[in-house]
Structure 1
Amino acid sequence: MKGITIVLGLAACIDTALAHYRWTSLVANGTKSADYYYVRQNTNYNSPVTDVTSTDIRCNAGGLSGSSTNVATLTAGSTVGFQLDQSIYHIGPILVYMSKAPSAVGSYDGSGSWFKISQLGPTFSSGAINWPTQVDKYSFTIPKSVPSGQYLLRVEHIGLHQGNQAKGAQFYISCANVNVVGGGSGAPGPTIKLPGGYSATDPGILFNPYYPVPTSYTFPGPAVWSG
């Protein structure tokens, strides 16, 4: 996985539409699905969500309904991933959440509780911060003890190239409809609601990645539940 290094004095990245990207496919059992086969189609094209108080923060604009989206069967403990339509360009972390559907996941709007299962942030060295960029896929593990059932599986990349200003963070989000089998009796948590679990002033959202060069990063949302 390649990275991009920010050193002292580096200017902010220029925000262009060409740098935007979408999580379009689910990767399971080593196979990449067709675009929007298991991933809910949004109506936002490749524009990010910027309002953390909007219901769009759940599954992107137009993503609250998944009735026309197929359901992927995933085995608890297996490695899965999300594929992008182009490589991540902007600096910022990647986070993955799950939310259990009360019935059929296709009709679930994500209004329940969400727990985090994976996150990837920067590494630090003397005078530099190194972000995970120039990648077009992110892989992670479905916790082995997660209870079986249907879930929304949510991925986001938070673009922080304008994060040093109020409401400058950009959220690139997709949700997939999944059915987890072979699960356990774990109690996922801590949990948050979306919206509600993020604030525009959270230190991992209102974040200056440039100068002075950061020496740490605080992920927004709850701690990762590994099961």
Structure 2
Amino acid sequence: MLFTITLLGVVSTAIAHGTVSSIVANGVFFEGYNPSYQYITPAPVTVGWKIPQDLGNGFIAPDSFATSDIICHLAATNALTAAPIEAGKSLELLWTPWPTTHKGPVLDYLANCNGPCETVDKTTLEWFRIDAVGLIDNSLTDGYWATDQLIADNNTWTVVIPPTIAPGNYVLRHEIIALHSAASANGAQSYPQCVNLAISSSGTATPAGVLATTFYSATDPGILFDLYGTFTSYTIPGPPTYSGGVTISQTLPPTPTASATGVYTV
């Protein structure tokens, strides 16, 4: 068994792209899900939805966009706890190192579980998009994208929970769509990640949502896209962003200005 686990670990490292390893909500750190947790007894209880079949940190291809795998990733099952957060507050999602070549948009959706998210049927969740960032600057070679900004911010993405939504138990669906192979049919790569949130709020809005299996088509201009061709703009795929959503500028690390002048001693 030890050999099998080690071999799987090697395979995972060789073809890995990325997963959300943890989140920070209201300043509190919460574990995301790691597929290796399935080998731990008892398995850690996380706010991240369980994806034990994603040992390779892989993706969902366009030919699976109409299947349940697009909801929260490959054969995902419910997280068994939730992170509390107030509407209007920021949530940080920390990724494992993201490849610089995997450029594309970053998108965030919410779905109200209308009850416990720990037992909700994921195929019934209706999602509304709360933010989406795609091409930021087209003057650079292959463009400067949301993923470049995520990498520059220490593989972290910040999302604001809309202040107007009603309180309740929600699933946050956070997603990167990598476009490095998207010029070919079935080449785009979706990396959806889900976490459970218990949102407190004085808001009352209940935005209409749609099923995740209806988000994208394989021929959408934002899915079938030549990253290495000539382009001046990019159309983010999927439903429109909720009018109460808040898209913020991600915080980039400051430019170092200090210089060492000596050796510190006590």
Same fold (TM over 0.5): yes
Query: By percentage of residues, which structure has more helix?
Result: 2
Shift of 1:156: 0.5
Q: How many residues align?
A: 208
Residue number in structure 2 paired with 1:157 = 176
Residue number in structure 2 paired with 1:210 = 228
Q: In the alignment, residue 87 of structure 1 is paired with which amino acid? A: W
Q: In the alignment, residue 54 of structure 1 is paired with which amino acid? A: T
Alignment of 1:18-57 (within 5 A): 18=15, 20-36=17-33, 37-42=46-51, 43-45=53-55, 46-50=57-61, 51-57=64-70
CA distance in 1, matches of 2:176, 2:218: 15
Contact 2:50 2:77 in 1 (8 A): no
Cα 1:130–1:149 change in 2 (3 A) is: same
Residue number in structure 2 paired with 1:193 = 211
CA distance in 2, matches of 1:102, 1:108: 8
CA distance in 1, matches of 2:158, 2:54: 24
Structure 1 length-normalised TM: 0.85
1:72 maps to 2:91:
no
CA distance in 2, matches of 1:127, 1:140: 25
Shift of 1:91: 0.6
Query: By percentage of residues, which structure has more strand?
Result: 1
Gaps of 5+ in 2: 1-12, 34-45, 245-266
Cα 1:44–1:210 change in 2 (3 A) is: same
CA RMSD of aligned residues (A): 1.9
CA distance in 2, matches of 1:192, 1:74: 24
CA distance in 2, matches of 1:82, 1:215: 29
SS across alignment from 1:58? helix
Residue number in structure 2 paired with 1:108 = 120
CA distance in 2, matches of 1:201, 1:152: 27
Gaps of 5+ in 1: 1-15
Higher relative CO (CA 8 A, sep ≥ 6), structure 1 or 2?
A: 1
Residue number in structure 2 paired with 1:81 = 92
Shift of 1:18: 4.6
Worse-superposed segment, 149-158 or 128-137: 128-137
Q: In the alignment, residue 60 of structure 1 is paired with which amino acid? A: H
Residue number in structure 2 paired with 1:60 = 73
Identity of aligned residues (%): 33
Shift of 1:59: 0.4
Contact 1:105 1:152 in 2 (8 A): yes
Contact 2:138 2:233 in 1 (8 A): no
CA-to-partner distance for each residue in 1:7-58, whole Å, 9 max, x for gaps? xxxxxxxxx9455111121211233322332111212120111121110100
Contact 1:23 1:173 in 2 (8 A): no
CA distance in 2, matches of 1:173, 1:125: 25
Contact 1:75 1:183 in 2 (8 A): no
